[in-house]
Amino acid sequence: MGLRKFKPVTPGTRFRVGASFTEITATKPEKSLVVSSKKSGGRNNTGKMTMRYIGGGHKKSYRLIDFKRDKFDIPAVVASIEYDPNRTARIALLNYADGEKRYIIAPEGLQVGQTLLSGDKATPEVGNTLKLANIPLGSIIHNLELHPGKGAQLARSAGSYAQLAARDGKYATIKLPSGEVRSILVTCLATIGTVSNSDHANEVLGKAGRSRWVGRRPRTRPVAMNPVDHPMGGGEGRSSGGHPRSRNGVLAKGYKTRSLKKYSNRFIIEKRKK
């Protein structure tokens, strides 16, 4: 998994840095695990635009990903590593011993032909899924559950990982990608290893058109708007715009929006770093 720099044969390729896709082993997805997905264009059910700067983009099909890894003690062979247009990480197709096929988020270093297992009998090796109670302290993990049986919710994007720091009774202490240290039940599942495609953060689209292919429309700077359109708009000449805030007036850059009474606050040992 690496990056590819392009020769400046056109203005768009001059600064473009893209993925090399050397780890991809299959070009077409498994038909039984693909469903159609419809774009909203940022509109709601009445056709009103509720999210700005969304629209266009290449047509995509959604790959059904197994975030629960609930086929316990049934070995699965990695059939292929594939590209998924819906997420930053690569995905892996697993062929289970009972004949079922499922997609998972591919961890870094996963190879075709490798055998994976989930459950209490699994060993703490890359790609295997275990309860936090059975994972050695200090292990690097991803696809972490917040509630037992709900499926992975944390550390799912390209290159991200969490670390199992400690265990105390029925809770494990986890250091999350944001820097937050949090208590999670030891009955929650997690997968060993780091999420694949860690170079995603270093990719450069190279031109505005590629941003449109992704489905992003041009973003207007608030300072360039009129006062009727944004709190930071207006003013004579090139005004700075005042205090950074959203279109609805909510302060940005330091103003905390998390509820002080949120039920899960008691599970947070150390807040994320600014």
The pLDDT tens digits along the chain (274 residues) read: 689 999 999 999 999 999 999 999 999 999 999 999 999 999 999 999 999 999 999 999 999 999 999 999 999 999 999 999 999 999 999 999 999 999 999 999 999 999 999 999 999 999 999 999 999 999 999 999 999 999 999 999 999 999 999 999 999 999 999 999 999 999 999 999 999 999 999 999 999 999 999 999 999 999 999 999 999 999 998 888 889 999 999 999 989 999 999 999 999 999 987 6
Q: Of 176, 77, 66, 192, which Cα lies nearest the Cα of 134?
A: 192
Q: Given this structure, which CATH class describes domain 3-38+58-201+263-270?
A: mainly beta
pLDDT at 157: 97
Q: How many residues in the chain?
A: 274
- Please report, for the chain, the start and end positions of each structural domain, with discontinuous segments joined by +: 3-38+58-201+263-270
The structure tokens listed for 67 are: 């975030």
Pair 114, 193: CB distance under 8 Å: no
Q: Residue 234 to residues 229, 230, 238, 240, 246: CA-CA distances in angstroms?
A: 9, 8, 9, 10, 15
Report the alpha-carbon distance of residue 190 to residue 111 in Å, rounded: 19
Q: Edge-to-edge strand order for the sheet containing 101-105?
A: 101-105, 91-96, 76-82, 115-116
Which residues are CB-neighbours of 259 under 8 A, at least 6 positions away?
A: none
Q: What DSSP element (H or E) covers 131?
A: strand 129-131
